A and B are shown apart, each in its own frame.
Chain A
Amino acid sequence: MNEELNNMKWENVNAALEHKEGSYVPTIAFPGPAAASWAGKTACETLVDPDTYAATMTKVFEDMWCDCTIDHGLSTTPNIEKAFHGNVQNKFAPDGTTVEHLQNSLMKSDEYPQLIENTESFVVDVLLPRKFPWLFENKEEAKKALKILAEQQYKLFFDYGFALYGKMQDEYGVTPIVGETFVSPCLDLLFDSFRGFSGMLTDLRRKPKEVLEAVDKLWYVYCEDIYETPMENPFPFAEEMPHMPAYLSPKQFDEFYWPQQKKWIDKLSNDGSKLVILFEGKWKHVWDRFKDVAKDSVIIMCDDDDIFELNEALGDHHIITGGTQLAKIRLDSKENNINRAKAVIDACAPGGGFMYGTDKNWISPGDINQNLIDVYNFAHEYGRY
């Protein structure tokens, strides 16, 4: 451990989080399975033991300057897929590294009354038997599958997770800025867990009243307790990975989304914490809403929005991360990517509250490549205050 180096990295991350200029612009990584690929393995090949996993997944930090990360590591294993007969939404692609999400939404459009009446019963009595009928027909097989699920998740989030986060922080001084708390406005929950993309977009137009009632009910069932419980530790922060706002009109956003979005931001701010939100897709049509919450209560991860415009609109009010477009990193020259990094840092760094990062997470082989390494290292050198 290099304590001096680690302290320096943390001081600069902390300065950015306090919306101040440190000695340089911190870089924030968005790592995941691609980190295994950079180390010459598939993600599945890292699941040997905690030390192998941690060493492989942190190899990228030997080559790339990183000060902090959003979360890191794998979220599923091939054994979970096998235990549930392959009928899972998140599974490894044939490359053994990319985790594909194959959305399989189980709720039908005429089932809102059942969801609203008794959510737990609807999930267990209707949706789960639709997905895993054998779970309710063969008790021994069900027990075996649940054991594997618990063991694999324990392995990922405890044994392997602790090893990874320990090595990342102790050896490389890379601090994860988000912890265990995931929050979500319930329109996203309805989208993610129940109705899926096509169902949700149709329902918003044909069944707005039912959607609103469902959103309220889901809040009561899945969010109320977390909302009412003060965060034990304000850092690391809570995280939100929304999908819906890019597809909502400003009017729909105000009606279906913003009330709960604002509640989460206000709650976390009142607890002395912040909310990290990936603005997935483009959110320009709703940026101005975020001026109505406390200053620096949100860390905005810029995705497809124009980061220069976003910085103009919200850079004084919240903390912004981004600047690197993964697609351009892959397809454009090193020189063009570095010129873009210069322009982003020139525009966004003054005044602090900015961290240089990518628009999307690093999930597939090739997402971490020499261009990305070079641009991050350049950003660290160029982004001096």
Chain B
Amino acid sequence: MDNVTYLNELINELMSDEEWDVPEDCKGILLWGISKSLLDL
């Protein structure tokens, strides 16, 4: 699996993780250009 697919899969799993009990807006942060956010960390 290439890294782009891996990262997308990771985000999808987190978005549908029902045990991660946080507001939707919190999960939504991971959809806001996460690769660029990680690069800028």
Q: List A residues at the B interface (Cβ < 8 Å).
A: 80, 84, 88-90, 106, 120-121, 123-125, 127-129, 131-132, 135-136, 139, 142-143, 146-147, 149-151, 153-154, 158, 192-193, 222
- The reply to whether B26 and A151 form a contact with Cβ atoms under 8 Å apart is yes
Known pairs A124-B35, A132-B38; list 7 more (Cβ under 8 Å).
A124-B4, A129-B3, A139-B10, A143-B14, A146-B10, A150-B27, A151-B26
User: Least Cβ distance of B15 to chain A in Å?
Assistant: 10
A132 proximity list for chain B (CB < 8 A): 38
Given contacts A146-B10, A150-B26, A150-B29, contact A192 B38 (CB under 8 A): no
Q: List B residues at the A interface (Cβ < 8 Å).
A: 2-4, 6-7, 10-11, 13-14, 17, 20, 22-23, 25-27, 29-30, 33-41
CA distance in complex: A233, B38 (Å): 28
CA distance in complex: A20, B29 (Å): 40
B13 proximity list for chain A (CB < 8 A): 143
User: Least Cβ distance of B37 to chain A in Å?
Assistant: 8
CA distance in complex: A84, B34 (Å): 14
- The reply to whether A124 and B14 form a contact with Cβ atoms under 8 Å apart is no
Given contacts A142-B10, A146-B10, contact A128 B38 (CB under 8 A): yes
CA distance in complex: A27, B21 (Å): 42
CA distance in complex: A131, B22 (Å): 28
- The reply to whether B6 and A136 form a contact with Cβ atoms under 8 Å apart is yes
CA distance in complex: A146, B17 (Å): 13
B30 proximity list for chain A (CB < 8 A): 146, 149-150
CA distance in complex: A143, B35 (Å): 14
CA distance in complex: A129, B14 (Å): 20
B29 proximity list for chain A (CB < 8 A): 149-150, 153-154
- The reply to whether A147 and B14 form a contact with Cβ atoms under 8 Å apart is yes
Please name 15 pairs of A and B residues whose Cβ atoms are closer than 8 Å in the assembled complex, sorted by A. A121-B2, A123-B39, A127-B39, A128-B3, A128-B35, A131-B39, A132-B38, A146-B11, A147-B14, A149-B29, A150-B29, A154-B22, A154-B29, A158-B23, A192-B40
A150 proximity list for chain B (CB < 8 A): 14, 22, 26-27, 29-30
B22 proximity list for chain A (CB < 8 A): 150-151, 154
B37 proximity list for chain A (CB < 8 A): 149
- The reply to whether B25 and A154 form a contact with Cβ atoms under 8 Å apart is yes
Q: Which residue from chain A places its CB closest to the CB of B9 in the assembled complex?
A: A139
B35 proximity list for chain A (CB < 8 A): 120, 123-124, 128
Q: Which residue from chain B places its CB closest to the CB of A145 in the assembled complex?
A: B38
- The reply to whether B25 and A158 form a contact with Cβ atoms under 8 Å apart is yes
Which of A80, A125, A146, A193 interacts with B2 by CB under 8 Å?
A125
Given contacts A121-B4, A150-B29, A154-B26, contact A143 B39 (CB under 8 A): no
User: Least Cβ distance of B23 to chain A in Å?
Assistant: 7
**Which 9 pairs across A and B sit closest by C-beta, in order of nearness?**
A154-B26, A150-B29, A125-B3, A88-B41, A124-B3, A124-B4, A123-B35, A124-B35, A153-B29
B26 proximity list for chain A (CB < 8 A): 150-151, 154, 158
CA distance in complex: A146, B10 (Å): 9
- The reply to whether B4 and A120 form a contact with Cβ atoms under 8 Å apart is yes
